[in-house]
C-alpha cells in the first residue's frame, strides 16, 4: 500500500463526532458520523451527491460486528430510509469531490465492498444479495483505485472492516509462529497490530476446565461463539480452527485453546521454548 497524506477535519472539535477525511491527490472524500450526529450529516451539502455508504454496528442476534453496505445516487435521501434499522451506530459515506461517479461506478463499488467485507470475515454483512455492476476495462481500473483509497481510509475512521487478519507476511517458517500446547493439542499463533491471531488448522481441547464455568465464563462464551460461527469445529480428537481467528489478546487466544483461563504471555512459546513474555522482555 502506498504512503499517503491524510486531511482530517473535525467540525465540532470532537474526534468521536462527525468528521471528514480526504487523501492527497485523490478525487474522493469521506464523511464518518456516529448515529447521534445523523441529522448533522444529512444536512451537509455533500449528501446530495452519489456515493456508497456503510452502516456499522452490532448484530443483536449474534453479538458480532455487522455492516450494511449501500449505494445511492442521492446519499442523503437513501440514508434517511435507514433510520428504522436499529443495529447501526456509525455511518461512513464515500463520494467524489468532482461528482464523476456514475450509477454504474457506485454499483461496482458497492459490490466490491460487500465482496471484500465477506472475505475478511471480521464482520457480518447484512446485505441479502451481492451487488455490483459490469464496467468497461478502463472504468474498472479507475474505480479500483477509488476502492483502494477506501481501504486505506477506513481504518483511520475507526473501522477494520476491510483489514485482512494478519496471519503473517507470507512466510510459513516455524520460527515466525508461537505454539500453545495442552493435552496433546497444538495451536500456532502470533502477535498482530490488533491483538493475537491463531492460525487455521490449529487445535483446541474439546473438554473445558471444570473451573472455567465459575472463574472464566468469558472464555466459554468466546468458544461457543466461535463454534456457532463455524470458526471452531469438532474433529476426531478435539476442536480445530477452520480459519485464521484474531483475538484481543494472547490470553484470550490461549484460553480458547485450553478451554479455560490461562496467562497468554506464558502459554505461547517459540520453537526453542521461550515464552512470549521472555521474547518481549516483559
Span 191-203, pLDDT tens digits = 988 889 999 999 9
pLDDT of 93 reads: 98
DSSP 149: H
pLDDT of 160 reads: 87
CB-based contacts of 259, cutoff 8 Å, min separation 6: 182, 204, 205, 206, 207, 208, 209, 212, 219, 223
pLDDT of 31 reads: 98
pLDDT of 6 reads: 94
pLDDT of 99 reads: 82
pLDDT of 167 reads: 52
Residues of the chain with pLDDT under 70: 1, 166-175, 282
For the CA atoms of 87, 194, 258, 206, the dihedral, rounded to the nearest 10 degrees, stands at: 40
Task: List the alpha helices (DSSP H) in the chain.
Answer: 38-42, 75-80, 103-120, 137-153, 212-215, 217-229, 250-258, 264-267, 276-279
pLDDT of 169 reads: 46
pLDDT of 153 reads: 94
pLDDT of 174 reads: 44
pLDDT of 172 reads: 46
- Give the C-alpha distances (Å, rounded to integers) separating 139 from 7, 63, 106, 269: 26, 39, 12, 49
Could you give phi then psi for residue 149, rounded to 5 degrees? -70, -35
Span 53-112, pLDDT tens digits = 999 999 888 778 899 999 999 999 999 999 999 999 999 999 999 888 999 999 999 999
CA angle, residues 70, 76, 80, in degrees to nearest 5? 80
pLDDT of 141 reads: 94
Cell 463499488 belongs to 109
d(CA 138, CA 49): 23
pTM reported for the whole predicted model: 0.76
Nearest to 135 by CA among 127, 151, 146, 126: 146
Amino acid at each position: 500500500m502506498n504512503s499517503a497524506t491524510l486531511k482530517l477535519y473535525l467540525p465540532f472539535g470532537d474526534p468521536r463526532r462527525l468528521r471528514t477525511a480526504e487523501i492527497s491527490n485523490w478525487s474522493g472524500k469521506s464523511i464518518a458520523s456516529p448515529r447521534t450526529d445523523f441529522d448533522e450529516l444529512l444536512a451537509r451539502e455533500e449528501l446530495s451527491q452519489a456515493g456508497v455508504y456503510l452502516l456499522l454496528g452490532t448484530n443483536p442476534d449474534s453479538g458480532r460486528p455487522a455492516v450494511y453496505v449501500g449505494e445511492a445516487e442521492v446519499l442523503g435521501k437513501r440514508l434517511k430510509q435507514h433510520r428504522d434499522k436499529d443495529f447501526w451506530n456509525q455511518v461512513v459515506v464515500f463520494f467524489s469531490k468532482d461528482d464523476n461517479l456514475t450509477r454504474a461506478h457506485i454499483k461496482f463499488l458497492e459490490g466490491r465492498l460487500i465482496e471484500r467485507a465477506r472475505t475478511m470475515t471480521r464482520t457480518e454483512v447484512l446485505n441479502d444479495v451481492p451487488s455490483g455492476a459490469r464496467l468497461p476495462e478502463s472504468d474498472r481500473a479507475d474505480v479500483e483505485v477509488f476502492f483502494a483509497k477506501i481501504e486505506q481510509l477506513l481504518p483511520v475512521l475507526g473501522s477494520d472492516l476491510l483489514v485482512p487478519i494478519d496471519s503473517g507476511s507470507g512466510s510459513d517458517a516455524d520460527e515466525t509462529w508461537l505454539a500453545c500446547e495442552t493435552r496433546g493439542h497444538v495451536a500456532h499463533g502470533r502477535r498482530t497490530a490488533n491483538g493475537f491471531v491463531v492460525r487455521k488448522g490449529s487445535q483446541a481441547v474439546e473438554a473445558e476446565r471444570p473451573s472455567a464455568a465459575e472463574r472464566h465464563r468469558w472464555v466459554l462464551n468466546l468458544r461457543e461463539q466461535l463454534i456457532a460461527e463455524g470458526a471452531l469445529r469438532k474433529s476426531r480428537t478435539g476442536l480445530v480452527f477452520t480459519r485464521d481467528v484474531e483475538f484481543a489478546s494472547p490470553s484470550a487466544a490461549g484460553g480458547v485453546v485450553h478451554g479455560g483461563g490461562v496467562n497468554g504471555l506464558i502459554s505461547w512459546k517459540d520453537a526453542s521454548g521461550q515464552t512470549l513474555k521472555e521474547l518481549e522482555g516483559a
